[in-house]
């Protein structure tokens, strides 16, 4: 049969199909309610199934698909796709043949397709399209495990119902993998075809669907398909041209999502994801803010992803570091203030010390010049008693001065008892001076001299002890008794 005869036959079939549908308003037992849409392979109707009392979607194949060879292939594909039971794949209920042509019955989705949705909602937020990509990759990975390849992935084949995506027309594109349409154009949707679908070998496998999902992702990200133009220009671009990176058309797209999309759209199948699983893994890695495999990452990129993934831990750590830093700052500040306060105290004490020392120095000058000074011995004695606590802080030298004053005073007394009273007081001061400065030789000399003047034998014994101690000190300093 020639091509012209085929065309004429298809036209007659189409006219007959329309006439029968108009007369009967049914496809087999399914009562047509409304037309939902039309495509290259047929029309989709909303219909009612009186046997099961439910609303369904019925796809009635076009006249050219109803030829015997395609009808046989459709039976095979319908049987295969009917096995698919997945939350994101539209379920096939039935298939068959009627006077109108071959048909497939599937679940009815109350919603709109992704192509229509993008016209009014582009650009989609990242969280929404990332969820969409993951669910479609999961559905395709499941289908591939069941050895079914979609081959016609596009926004028009994804239905949205209450925000949940469902993939339709599973396996239908496979019916035309070795043919062309009656007009000589390769079947399928050109904008989303992989290069191998246009080649002579037609080596179609899972990587073909990887490309198709990449093309679908590209349109979701940029608002347009990977390539535009006439049919011939699109075919040439699919085989030869590189796609424009999505970020050039939409700066809100992340580098990672762009890398995933471009890896799917590689011309050579060997450079794409080798199946849906690694693609799905990369999408989930990105969702979890972990480095993806589609691109190389710097240490900075990895760190940023880690921080985003562990932000609660990082915030707690940051709070701890800030608290420790604040505590150290407070402690350092407190130590500094204490040090400053101590320095001020020392300065004040030094001033007080200097003031006391000046008073004592003036007093001891008077003592050293006594009895030539105008002060009476009683006045000097009284002033020394008043400054006893202060004198103790100046070590033994001041007690020596005090003791020597008492010795000189004893010399001026004519009463022996009074003399010895002053000498005993002097010895006590000398003894105190020795305790404060045990290696001060002058203290022993003065003590020895004071004891020698005393008439009491006990004092003379003290004199000898003082002499022995004094000689021991001299010996330790290198002097020997001559």
Catalytic residue set: 161
Measuring CA to CA, how many Å separate 397 from each of 359, 407, 434?
16, 15, 9
| CA–CA separation, 361 and 369 (whole Å) | 12
The DSSP code sequence of 162-222 is TTEEEE-STTTGGGGTT-B-TTSPBSS-GGG--GGGTSSS---SHHHHHHHHHHHHHHHHH
Q: Could you check whether the bond before residue 456 is cis, i.e. omega within 30 degrees of 0?
A: no
Hey, is 102 helix, strand or coil? strand
C-alpha Rg value of the chain to the nearest Å: 55
Q: How long is the chain?
A: 482
- The answer to whether 257 touches 286, Cβ cutoff 8 Å, is yes
Longest Cα pair distance anywhere in the chain, in angstroms? Answer: 167
The DSSP code sequence of 285-331 is HHHTT---SSS---HHHHHHHHHHHTHHHHHHHHHHHHHHHHHHHHH
| CA–CA separation, 448 and 426 (whole Å) | 11
């Amino acid at each position: 049969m020639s091509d012209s005869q085929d065309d004429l036959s298809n036209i007659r079939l189409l006219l007959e199909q329309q006439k029968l549908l108009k007369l009967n308003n049914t496809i087999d037992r399914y009562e047509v309610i409304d037309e939902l849409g039309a495509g290259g392979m047929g029309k989709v109707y909303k219909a009612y199934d009186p046997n099961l009392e439910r609303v369904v979607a019925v796809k009635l194949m076009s006249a050219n698909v109803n030829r015997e060879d395609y009808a046989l292939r459709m039976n095979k594909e319908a049987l295969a796709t009917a096995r698919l039971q997945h939350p994101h794949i539209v379920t096939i209920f039935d298939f068959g043949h009627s006077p109108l042509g071959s048909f497939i019955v599937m679940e009815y989705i109350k919603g709109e397709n992704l192509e229509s949705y993008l016209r009014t909602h582009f650009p989609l937020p990242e969280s929404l399209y990332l969820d969409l990509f993951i669910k479609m990759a999961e559905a395709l990975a499941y289908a591939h495990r069941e050895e079914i390849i979609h081959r016609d992935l596009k926004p028009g084949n994804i239905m949205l119902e209450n925000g949940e995506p469902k993939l339709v027309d599973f396996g239908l594109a496979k019916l035309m993998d070795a043919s062309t349409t009656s007009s000589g154009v390769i079947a399928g949707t050109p904008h989303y075809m992989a290069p191998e679908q246009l080649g002579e070998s037609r080596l179609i496998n899972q990587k073909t669907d990887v490309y198709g999902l990449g093309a679908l992702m590209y349109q979701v990200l940029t608002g347009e398909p990977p390539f535009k133009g006439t049919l011939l220009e699109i075919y040439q671009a699919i085989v030869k041209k590189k796609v424009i990176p999505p970020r050039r058309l939409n700066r809100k797209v992340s580098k990672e999502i762009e890398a995933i999309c471009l890896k799917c759209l590689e011309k050579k199948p060997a450079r794409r994801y080798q199946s849906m699983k690694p693609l799905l893994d990369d999408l989930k890695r990105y969702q979890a803010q972990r480095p993806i495999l589609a691109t190389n990452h710097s240490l900075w990129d990895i760190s940023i992803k880690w921080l985003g993934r562990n932000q609660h831990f990082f915030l707690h750590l940051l709070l701890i570091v800030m608290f420790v830093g604040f505590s150290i700052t407070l402690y350092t500040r407190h130590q500094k203030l204490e040090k400053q306060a101590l320095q001020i105290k020392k300065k004040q004490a030094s001033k007080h010390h200097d003031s006391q020392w000046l008073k004592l120095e003036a007093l001891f000058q008077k003592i050293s010049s006594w009895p030539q000074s105008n002060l009476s011995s009683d006045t000097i004695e009284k002033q020394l008693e008043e400054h006893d606590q202060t004198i103790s802080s100046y070590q033994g030298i001041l007690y020596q001065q005090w003791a020597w004053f008492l010795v000189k005073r004893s010399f001026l007394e004519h009463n022996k008892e009074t003399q010895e009273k002053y000498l005993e007081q002097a010895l006590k001061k000398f003894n105190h001076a020795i305790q404060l400065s045990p290696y001060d030789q002058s203290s022993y000399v003065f003590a020895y001299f004071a004891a020698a003047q005393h008439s009491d034998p006990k004092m003379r014994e003290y004199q000898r002890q003082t002499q022995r101690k004094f000689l021991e000190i001299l010996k330790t300093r290198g002097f020997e008794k001559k």
